[in-house]
Structure formats: structure tokens, C-alpha cells
Amino acid sequence: MPLRTTLLSLALAAAVPATAALAANAPAAEAGRAVLPMPAGVWTPDQGDGTYRNPILAGDYSDPDAIRVGDDYYMIASSFANVPGLPVLHSKDLVNWSLIGHALARLPQDGHHATPRRGGGVWAPAIRHHDGLFRIYYPDPDFGIYVVTARDAAGPWSAPVLVEDSRGVIDPAPFWDDDGQGWLAYSYAKSRSGRINEVLLKRLNADGTKTVGEEHVVINGDTLPPVQTSDGPKQWVVIEGAKVHKRDGWYYIFAPAGGVKGGWQGVFRSRNILGPYEHRNVMDQGSSPVNGPHQGAWIDTPRGEHWFVHFSDADSYGRRVHLQPMQWGRDGWPVIGQRQPGQHYGQPVLRHRKPALPQQPVAIPVVDDGFDSGPHLGWQWNANPSDAWIDRSARGVLRLNAASTPVNLWEAGNVLTQKLPGMAFTATTQLRFAPVAVGERAGLTLFGASYGWIGLERGADGVRLVQVARVDAAAHADERVVAADVAVGDAPVWLQVQVEPRTVTIDPPADPTRYWPSMTRAVHAVARFSYSLDGRSFQPLGGEVVVTPGRWVGSQVGVFAQAPSGTPAFTATRVGHADFDDFTVR
């Protein structure tokens, strides 16, 4: 069976359990019809008929948080080692989102983040609007919790201020009580602190720039009785990502638990901010194909509707953002998603009516780039960039200087990438290469812990086309040249990567309390590379490359230019350059 047919069959099978949810929320013409999770090309959630399909953001926007300010909605997400960091998105209807900037031009501790810190950098952040300022609190688990502020969510944003100077603190979220007292909720990363499965509160000073007083453990998952889920009773494990709210005299803490793929959305409530707290599962995977669901935000609308955004892990395709309806019950507990039969918790919907908000134009993520005014907002480096990596004096092209770096892309910061725009797509770019030294190379990559690239390399006999792959880069495996074609001289070359998903079976966790059926599957991105000498007729080069996610991030599509390692590691040295143009995704 051809790969595409197999993939469509898998997608149909995955969608069948959600048919009931679709029928309840979609137009009559769509009722009962299985829904493919993702079409080819760039994903657009707005269906143009008053409904939307999840995910509302197909790109890798991990740990989303969102707020409403008047009639506007703003969302942020983790960015880990990618720079610029802390993406800021805007919407008027909670479905159509546009990237409007980044709150972090570069990561603090500049020297530390001059090299890629895979799995480090910006973890789960929170955004609030308080006293006329947008405030984003974010953690770097190796250094502490920071805050950045702005009058306008599009920027400019202030320099980061260290709020909590403790190694291992993560997932901060501020809350200001009715008396004006500010609090900061957070958790700990076991990898840095040895602590896990707690929610803590600490007071903030008057301007919210420093924690003060003692630390209060208000939720300790190790002491809680099991919680009921659609997969049976589960122990509370890995409680994190807490967000504090107040409603009708109750303090509510929304916090996911159970881990990313096998978790559920928990809610805790108390009449006292310091507890004790009752607890409940309010959404889990149920019979839907949406794993997790994990880390998110409760948002209301001016008309009194309630919604919840969260992410679901799609492996190589990243952590994609979903929008769920939310209802408050008479018992004072929320239900997120579609209520599961006879239960007090919901499950994710795949398709639903849009929020009752003014009609907005369909927002299509910006992925194509002619580089007429520099790279668009969607591009990010893999570390704090050097000014010498890019030549901004070049007009109408993206000119990357060949910077001296290690031979493998995983260790290199000067890889310019963007999030995958959909499940099945083809990315193409034109490359003109002007190397100086033997060993310089430039190309187009589908990047992750296992990755591949196609490009040009300067050898002793001139410039040649190569296709390269690396399996399990985190284990320090070497790159290998899969295929090398004829010399091409200094003429332009068009590079292309065709990407399709492949679902594979993996072993479930050893601990049965952590097991969910969704944890036995993973989705990898399969890349096939080709080239053209005229921009029209493309020839394949090499075989397929199975690309896996990076550390806490999905795979990325990107471009690079490198020189042989010979000067001190990661210092940018002007050698040759590569001009990229007409980057397109179809």
C-alpha cells in the first residue's frame, strides 16, 4: 500500500472514536463523517462555516497560556532554546491566531545560551495584564523565574528581571487577589531539584518583580488519593503548570497531571488560597484521538462563554494547541470539552462551533518567505545568535555567513528554523552558494534529534550536491553522507524536502499507573529530499529519512550555512556565504 494511502487510513481510524463529538458540534452535513486530523500543506483551523477543527495552532506551541484584554486575546508558549523566544500571538475570535512578535530577543546568561541547550531555556510561561502592563513570567530551570513587561503585547518588551533565584523552579503563574496581594504559583523540575509533583505559592512584592516570604506547598500529589479517569483510577503524578483563578469566592488551581501524553487536566479548589484543596479530573483523552490533554488556560468572552486552550503532543510535529468549550456546573466545578457519558469530566473535541465572537478573516500562518525585508517572525535560531551569522546588507535574499561550527547540526546554534506548518507538506528554497574554504556547506534541513538535510558542500574538487542524515544526535552519533551527486559549480540550485507523517508503535511505560493507549504510538516525520537545476524539474537524492522530535520540541524545517570547525567553537567567522530565496511550503 502506498505511504499516503496508509497514512490516510490511519488518520481515518484515529478519527472514528470522535464521531459522536463531531456529530454533536458540526453542521448536519458533516455529522457522522470521520474527520482527517490534518490535510496536506499549511493547516487552517477555521472551516469557513461557523466551525473550527482542532488543532487551532498546528505548529509547535508547547505549554500555551492565554488571556483576554477587552476584545483581544493573547497567547504565549514555551520556546526552550529557540531564539527569539516567548512567541506572542493575537486573536479576535480564539480560532484565528497571528504571530505578532517575541517577548525575549535573546536568552539571559548570553554565554551559556551561545550554544544550543537542548531542553533548556524557556519552559512553560504565563501571561497576565495587570496595572496597565502585560507581564510574562517564565522559567529557565537552570537559573530561576523571570518576568518581562510591556505596554503593548507586540512589544517592545523589557529586559528580563529575575523574580525567583532558585535552580529547578518551573511553570510560574502570577495571581493578584482582591486585596491586591500578588502571588506566584510554581512547581519544581525533578531533573534540577529532586522535587516533583507539587504546586507551591509564594507572595510577590508590590511591583511583581520579586518573591517574598516563605514558600507554601499547597498541593502535594504524593499525598492525594487516586483520581477517577476514563482509564480507571490514577495516582496524581507530575502535577505542574498551575494557573490560579478566583470565582464566586473559590480559589481554583488549574493544573495538568499524569505526564504529557498520558495525563489529564486537574482542577483544585479551596476557600483559602493556601488550602486545603479539593481536587477533580475535568478532562482526559476519553475516546478521542487527542492525547494528554496538557497545560493550558481558561479564557472567558465578553458574552459569558468559557473556553480552554491546551496542547496535545504530536511527537515530530510538536505540541499543537487545541481549543475546547468549557462549562461551569451548578456544583461549582468546570467540565472541559465534551462531557463523557455519565461522568463529571470531558474529552477533547475535534470539531466545534466557533466562539460567539465577531467574524474574523481566516488567519493562515506565515511560512513562505521571499526575504525581501529579512526573515519573517516565524524564523528562530537554535541558540543566542551572533550578529555575524546573517548579513543584513544583502537585499532580496537571506544571506547566511558560513560560521565556524561543529560538523553536526545538533551542536550548532546557527541553524535558522521554523515550526512545521502541517502534517504533510513540501518545502522548497533556492540556494546560491559562494564558499571560500574547503568543507563549507549550506542547505535545507528537516531537523530534530534524528535529522536529514540536502545541500551543497565545497570539496577539494569543487562544489557538489549532498544528502546527509544523522540518527539519534543526542547520543553523539555522527552524520553520514547518504548520497552525493555531480558537481554543480556556482549556479543556483533549488532544494526541496517532502514531509509526511508515519505512525509507529512504541513500548508503553513500565508503570501501569502511567499507561494510556495513546502512549504506545508515536508520529514521526518522514523526509524525502530532492533538487532541481532549473526550479521546475526535481530529482530525488538519497532515501527517506525518519526525523524525530528534539528535546521537548517538535521537528523543524530550516536552513543553514557552515564553515569547518577550526576557530574556537561556535565563534562566527566570516568565510563564504549562502543566499537563500523563495522559501515556500505547499
Would the pTM count as exceeding 0.75?
Answer: yes
Cα dihedral 434→436→442→448 (10° resolution): -160
Catalytic residue among 140, 240, 313, 440: 240
Residues across the chain: 586
Indicate the SS3 state at residue 409.
helix
Mean pLDDT, the chain cut into blocks of 10 residues (586 residues total): 33 32 35 39 92 97 99 98 98 98 96 93 98 98 98 99 97 98 98 96 98 98 97 95 99 97 96 98 96 95 98 97 98 98 98 97 94 96 94 95 83 96 96 92 97 95 94 83 83 97 87 74 96 96 96 97 65 76 97
382's grid cell? 537554535
Closest CA to 533 of 430, 458, 442: 430
A 10 A CB-CB count for 327 gives 13
Tell me whether strands 334-336 and 425-434 are parallel, antiparallel or unpaired.
Answer: unpaired
Beta bridge partners of 182: 176
Cis geometry, peptide bond prior to residue 276 (ω within 30 degrees of 0): yes
Catalytic residue among 46, 63, 164, 411: 63
Residue with cell 499524569: 258
- Distance of alpha carbon 508 from alpha carbon 518, whole angstroms: 9
Concatenate the DSSP letters of all residues of 429-460 into one string. EEEEEE--STT-EEEEEEESSBEEEEEEEEET
Instruction: Indicate if 581 belongs to the active site.
Output: no
- Give the pLDDT score at 513: 65
Q: Domains of the chain, with CATH numbers?
A: 3-353 (2.115.10.20), 387-585 (2.60.120.200)
Query: How many helices (DSSP H) and strands (DSSP E) are in the chain?
Result: 3, 40
Indicate the SS3 state at residue 13.
helix
Instruction: Indicate if 544 belongs to the active site.
Output: no
